[in-house]
Every structure is written in structure tokens, then in C-alpha cells.
Amino acid sequence: HKYSEEHAKRKELYNHIQETKGNIRVFCRCRPLNKEETSTKSATIIDFDGAKDGELGVITGNNSKKSFKFDRVYSPRDGQVDVFADASPMVVSVLDGYNVCIFAYGQTGTGKTFTMEGTPQNRGVNYRTVEQLFEVARERKETISYNISVSVLEVYNEQIRDLLATSPPSKKLEIKQSSDGSHHVPGLVEANVENINEVWNVLQAGSNARAVGSNNVNEHSSRSHCMLSIMVKAKNLMNGDCTKSKLWLVDLAGSERLAKTDVQGERLKEAQNINRSLSALGDVIYALATKSSHIPYRNSKLTHLLQDSLGGDSKTLMFVQISPSEHDVSETLSSLNFATRVRGVELGPARKQV
């Protein structure tokens, strides 16, 4: 009883938020200057004066500043706990039957993995999410029984690789549509998990598998999308109702543009595939934000996989990760422009004097 009341109230609140703001959120996070930038006295070009109102300025030189607005802005001083506090209502909505997608976008080295995975001492969104799912599921155990399972995969060069598979797949992994309209990958391992330690083990296994077959793990991970899918099955013990929902947590490939002279052969193919999938993601979210009649999910493996959790009444959260350094200004502007487009709000060419 208590749960259904709470659920109804929550749903009403969500609908209200959706009507007024849509269900796409964009949070911008800036990493600190790294050791090298600090030692070479690299200048910080990000202005956080308006951060508490979601405003951010990029000093583009000649005393000019380009302004951006997001749902949240985190300066290097904001920690994992601050970030997760804002993401957590969205995470919990998975237990109420909503599909959710959270992803980190940005140039390599701006903290995508730090935000999503974090470090063992300073855990990120992935770990905190699952921890919270178990916690809330425990609080509700008298009224709802939850079953949670996890898949870990990577998309590299438009190919899906199962990071939990113990043997090579007998055939190429493809996305299929089920009779209920949802999408899945037949043959992908779904690990049933009952507590956070089991999840941790699964994540470690995924992360180890990612390293296999690549001679430079960091390079490889910057060129592939790492995707964690959490499936939640809920059974209401009062009325027997069952629901299924899915949460995607995605650490995207680096968004940097490679200099034309740098790329040939394999690298060129990789770069084209990354470009294609990140543009496809931007196009899908933009089409959703602007309520377009056609949503081009099929243009990349990434968007096709995420289809159930992008659009409809599902919720999307994008972290746009940026560097504070003057050396990265063009990539920073490119990421912020991408994120602005995704948010469906195009700001005019604001050029304010500093």
C-alpha cells in the first residue's frame, strides 16, 4: 500500500517534471588541471562563477567569453558524492519501472571513466548506482521482489563484444527486437547479482576482459564504448504485477577529432566509426528533444542498443566532461556545443566581455 502510494506520487512528480523540462538532463563536469598542466602553469579557461545556476563560461581569448547553460555544472572541487547525489533520483526511477540511460561524453582524458567507474577509493556512478539499487530494493522488500542482472559489453568498430563471456561467441552478436518491442542481444551473458560484492566481481571481470587482446588498454578504451546494462525485474507482492526495466551506464569513446594527417588504415576506420556513433547519438537525442517524428536509432550499434532507454518515458542523463586547460579549448568548445545541441536548447552566439 505504502509503496503504491509512493509510486503514484513519484510518477505524478515525474510526469510534471517531464512536461515542464523534458526528460533529458545534461550535467557538465570539469576535471582538475593534471600534474603536467600544473607544472607547465597551463591556464584555466573555465569560469565557474555561475556554476550553481548551471552556467559555465569558456574564456576563448581576447577577453571574450562563450557562455553555456546546463542542468548542473561541476567544478573540479565537486566530488563523486556531489555528482551522484544529483544523478540518484534518476537511478532510483529504474526500480519504479522506468528505463534510464546515463552516459559520459567528452575528449579522452577529461574524466569519463573517473565519473562512471571512478577508482576503488573514490567510486563513480556505476558502483554507487548498483549500491543504491540494492539499498532501495531492500527497503521495499515487504512489497516488491526485485531481480537484478547485469551485462557488460563493449562496442568497438560497430561490433558488439560481450565482456562477460568466458568463451568466444559461436556467431556475431546482433541486436534483436523481442515480441514486446524491447531490444536485446541474444547470447549476451546476463549475470544475476544479489549484492554489491557480486556486482563488483562482475565489473572487474568485464574490465579485465576489456584489456585482453589489446596492447594498449588506455588507447583501446578511448576508442570503444564501454556499456553496462542493468536489468531489473520487479514483482509487486501485493497484486502480482510484474514490470521490467533497464538502465544503461555508458562510458563513451573519446570524442576528440583526430588530425587528418594522423589517421590511416585501422585508425581511420576506428575514427570514422566513433564519429558515426557519437553523431548518431547526438542526432537521436536531438530528435527526441525537438519531438521529431523520426528518431534515427538504427544509424549506429550504440543508439540501436540504447533504443529502449532513449525516448518514450525513459530518462536520459548525459555527462559532458571537459578539461580546464587552455590547450584543450577547441575540443572543450566542441563538446560543449554538442551537449548544448543534445539539450535541444540552442543559445545564441553569446559573446560577453570578461
**Could you say whether residue 114 binds ligand ADP (CB under 6 A)?**
yes
Which is closer to ligand ADP, CB of 135 or CB of 219? 219
- Restricting to residues 283-342, name those near ligand ADP by CB under 6 A: 321
The residue range among 38-46, 104-112, 289-297, 298-306 that interacts with ligand ADP, by the rule CB under 6 A, is 104-112
Alpha-carbon span 126 to 250, nearest angstrom = 9
Size of site (CB under 6 A) for ligand ADP: 13
Query: What is the separation, in whole angstroms, between the first and last Cα of the chain?
Result: 56
Q: How far is the CB of 225 from ligand ADP (least distance, A)?
A: 12
Of positions 57, 111, 282, 311, contacts ligand ADP by CB under 6 A = 111
Report how far apart, in Å, the C-alpha atoms of 158 and of each of 150, 175, 190, 275, 278 are: 21, 12, 21, 11, 12
**Could you say whether residue 224 binds ligand ADP (CB under 6 A)?**
no
Of positions 65, 66, 112, 220, contacts ligand ADP by CB under 6 A = 112
Q: How far is the CB of 325 from ligand ADP (least distance, A)?
A: 12
Of positions 11, 22, 32, 54, contacts ligand ADP by CB under 6 A = 32
Which is closer to ligand ADP, CB of 80 or CB of 314? 80
The residue range among 102-110, 175-183, 230-238, 241-249 that interacts with ligand ADP, by the rule CB under 6 A, is 102-110
Say if residue 197 is exposed, middle or buried (CB neighbours under 10 Å; 0-12, 13-18, 19+): exposed
Instruction: Give me 237's grid cell.
Output: 507482492
**Could you say whether residue 129 binds ligand ADP (CB under 6 A)?**
no
Mark 231-270 with x for binding to ligand ADP (rule: CB under 6 A) and - for no binding: ----------------------------------------
Q: How far is the CB of 333 from ligand ADP (least distance, A)?
A: 17
Alpha-carbon span 84 to 101, nearest angstrom = 14
Say if residue 314 is exposed, middle or buried (CB neighbours under 10 Å; 0-12, 13-18, 19+): buried
Q: How far is the CB of 222 from ligand ADP (least distance, A)?
A: 6
**Could you say whether residue 31 binds ligand ADP (CB under 6 A)?**
yes
Long-range CB contacts (within 8 A, 24+) of 44-48: 44/324, 44/325, 44/326, 45/324, 45/325, 45/326, 45/329, 45/332, 46/75, 46/322, 46/324, 46/332, 47/354, 48/73, 48/75
**Could you say whether residue 108 binds ligand ADP (CB under 6 A)?**
yes
Say if residue 42 is exposed, middle or buried (CB neighbours under 10 Å; 0-12, 13-18, 19+): middle
Residues pairing with 148 in the sheet: 193, 232
Residue in the shown chain whose Cβ atom is closest to ligand ADP: 111
Q: How far is the CB of 296 from ligand ADP (least distance, A)?
A: 26
Instruction: Give me 115's grid cell.
Output: 565519473
Q: How far is the CB of 120 from ligand ADP (least distance, A)?
A: 12
Per DSSP, 176 falls in state E
Place of cell 501485493: 238
- Restricting to residues 183-222, name those near ligand ADP by CB under 6 A: 222
Of positions 75, 93, 99, 113, contacts ligand ADP by CB under 6 A = 113
Torsion angles phi and psi, residue 82, rounded to 5: -60, -45
Which residues bind to ligand ADP, rule: CB under 6 A?
A: 31-32, 76, 106, 108-114, 222, 321
